[in-house]
Structure 1
């Protein structure tokens, strides 16, 4: 017989202190009663809603299973969602005190965290190296007055010893002219390493037209001169036209065909949109960027999603997977759950489908939101130091030899276009050679003045000539008059150059009026919206919060299950992770690649914020070189 002394009425839980008067029992025993509610529902096909008509909860119902007794046959359920295993948070201290008897889950988490810290240190070091290599290179041998820009991206292959120590040069050959031979080098970083993607800005005096050929060459110098070039992209910064060159060959004296100088043809539209090319590009991009685990080793070189962030996202993803897996692990089978799909002896029930759906919904924050934030953050661009600006503003010593060399170079670059109908001059060696060169420039100005129809070619040619003449006028003004045979020659050179500058201004203004530059519109981001740099703190906050919550519940469930069940769960978790990393995610990458290849959608050319800074640097270089503003 039980005589209740005190009843604590808590929703869903009753605690009753009872004294037992039977001689076989000791007095003062506290009993704990747990109450639960159950409800049987079925889908009413006429009323189109859930109903309880004709159904009641049976006596065999438990907190994890519901017995429904109905007087009709229909699909019914006691709950739309499948509830995870029960765990009492109020017993946290009690469960954590059992760590000495059940250290399985704790040991697993410690191992994962130790591996994470080691990998994070390596990732930070690799990110620091990659940050220095991310720089887009403004070629030093670009002519300061050239203002028509091409962006060259060169992908070095991933084969063994694919990188080169040799000096590489490039020449662009277009339908309306050729560029100079440019040395592809950067004083601040090593270029053309294995698997690297290097970007260079090449400036020309005028548009080259349709770039149909690319000439690459190296001097076979250094300890490992052999170079495997994968592919090259050339983008016209002004028109956004892109040309692809599928090189896929060795440039080496002792490998491949033994040639270190090759001319490549631009790929045709059917080659770019071929299934093979798109599938290979999408697969490579997918494994290096979309497969979150594999991308840690070799992410895209210019991605704002760093290795440290990828490692941390993998750790958070792992912890979240562990928490969800242990919460739904070894759930009692609901015999009343309808079978949705059956193949032989394999049956997929509604309960299993709902567990998968709920797990996916719980994984959304780590798998989508946090990763998307890190992918979409606009990188912070380093500000140019004032020291560099001060050094660049210092006037340089002017000599007659330097003036003649610069004038010769301007005329040579203009003569590289067939439309200009301008022959090159012989080498300028003395002051007497300056007068024929100025006459040739005057003839070219008259040619441009006589062109009735304006286009970007004449706009950029007239601007390039204006910049060159402005530079010549500035240098003549600073030149020692004694550099000429007599002072009259110096004054005459100043007068002629000043006249040519005014005429060049008139020609440039005329062509610019009839062919104005395109209005700059806001760029459409093909790769999603770009977030401010400070969103990185939001991403880290969400990542750390989810990781902490997942770790807490994983430990709580592990202590609740006990040692034997925890060991079985660890084995189940290992199989689940292996399946996800090595089977499901690779299949996802390959599937997406096949879909895009069948839809014939090539990989878009990467947009980057750095190009704006490099263009500004080139314009500033032109302004300083010419010695005047407004150019």
Structure 2
């Protein structure tokens, strides 16, 4: 209702303030402003209308009571002239660019000028910007009168029809954008929307009521997503769209019923304006009749409202009555279909209806005089202009020699002023673009940080720290897992430390641990399933020189892995002694598919997912007995290359899953490398509404960035990949969508694990190795997203002079740096090979190429201890170290600094021009915030500039004063002559 009241204030036909009192020939001018962003203007708009017989002086569009030229607005004016201008030729229109900020520019669609005496209409099509910063930068244009062929162009008609249809015909959008002069009010539109919404809800509930309950409840779909109370399946989406299509026809009928109801009081803005100008002017109704439309009397409005309320109440009644009988699943499906129907109405049926009817009427019912947008402003009231009126005709004839209207001062910008205004406006646009970009990036970075940190549980470190101390026993020298160097130490740690920690035992006061079945001995972590110990072995092989030794052991790889099954003791013979099932199975080879395990990468090698597995199942005494038996049977022997112990724990206190892997690698040199891996997994992300909202908004940002980057790519083609910031944006988009795909997989995996845990009460083996890999990958991707998002902040400082200087320096040194990098890489790789071959057997830092590269990098940074190098070789160590320091540190780094210094000098001598925007922003911010007061010199300079802009040279205004004096004299002469004629008539009649 408030919107309807505000629309009433916008309706009206305004007489121009510069109309002359004695002028009796009237034109109606209708100006249509575009719907584009920043299309409205607050600048003063001037025009000159020219015809075959005459032209007007400079006239001004002014309305003292309401704002004109608003976005998508229609403004009607009455202009009076002394006599007819004849057939109109063109209109010259411009503005003074006096509006603040974006309100200075103006997008003009077209102008309709109607001769109120002959009822002839003239169209002046613009469809251009009057702005210093857009298109061609012009604020003054000459618009010729449009011909019939121009008015019948398909593109012009489609644009005009579509814009009007979206603002008036789209049932949902028109609530907020309905034309002010439309008789179909916002209240009536809201009523029609409620009728449409409740009708679709009723049809949806009728469908689910009539459908077979067994069919709908037991039907499964490959795509089934549950989000809160919504149950999204293709079936529900299809039902919603189908119901919306069915409710389209009733909604069109109720809308047309409202539209065709006549107003109770016929309101004519044009007649009111004409009466305001001259109450004595005779006005007659035009003899031209409009095409008849079916309309209803005003009292049918009550019938329309009553019918709408009845439909809504009936729908609510049946929804409540039938909805009570529905189950929870059916209500979720019904709610999903209702929301689908609602959004399909907004985004699907209404837009298609608009486009279809627009193209249909343009193709088959094209009419150049059918101005739908301005129908409410064009009434069939015709001015009865009688040129036989002797007094008016004589007055025009008498003052035709001095018929010079008083000119007004027009602030018309010169070419230099337009250029200056364009420069200032471009700086303002860049300033607001940077501010808007900064806000968007800040919100985006906040969202990505919220999502990234929400995926990491803050108790993860404490959980891992506790489990490390619990299993590794670093404080006990005899049971320290990290100090294992022999097979005997491994069996000792397994029997005396690991097994006892694997089962919940008595409390410190010898109480039995109640309700802790399945927990490990820390009483906090629940063991999911059981722990497994998997061995990987190699096949027996012979030595190359059998004169010394016949049997040799080789290192592990995928090709020499032993995949045979044995009897206990690694024999192929049948034993008389019987062993438990666990012992027998531990000598049987099982594939990775049977174990649901995957390839594992260790410190020394990469190991397959299969192997010989012992399962830690049973009570504590059984486990101890089995481990002792395995030790006696030499389950670990010379062919053993790796032992992997894998455990999955769940801590319900912090809702963390932990995948633990102990890896002992048995090298052919006799050494044992013991490592451990603790991977906490948080599958319970997005447990709050805030996290879900952040994720949805974040993905909306990603889609928005995708559209922007697609447009940039289409503009730049393959040069797009040569820009640094384009690669950063591409990295964010790729990492984000990959993270979404991985998260969906992890979500399904978490549901599978949860269902297995509920079905078996936790007594089933679940391997989280793959889940841990994928979780790490997800964390890496989110970390890269966070990194790229932080780097994007540097783009906001691209107008800073210092950062621009740094970027220009790197760009100028690009070729030289590439050449230097190639030379430096060759020298560096040469030294890596030299140090590796010289000290591979004497230094741990040179035991591999990767560690050697790391050591030389530390040398370059002067962070290297030379004592280890001297101990390795007293002569070669210091010698090659000195050569490396001289060639790499002194020579190469000096060359690098020389290249940078030379490029920096060239960049400083040739600065870029875009560095002025940052000081401009700082000046605006300081003035806005009041942190610094303007000096008196600056105030006087601004005041002088303003006074010069408003100053009028008396010599220039002399002709205007003479014109005003002539007008007054002419008016006085005409008034006296009319009075004398009136007296003569009275005397003659007497």
- Give TM-score, length-normalised by structure 1: 0.49
Larger Rg, first or second structure (1 or 2): 2
- Give TM-score, length-normalised by structure 2: 0.33
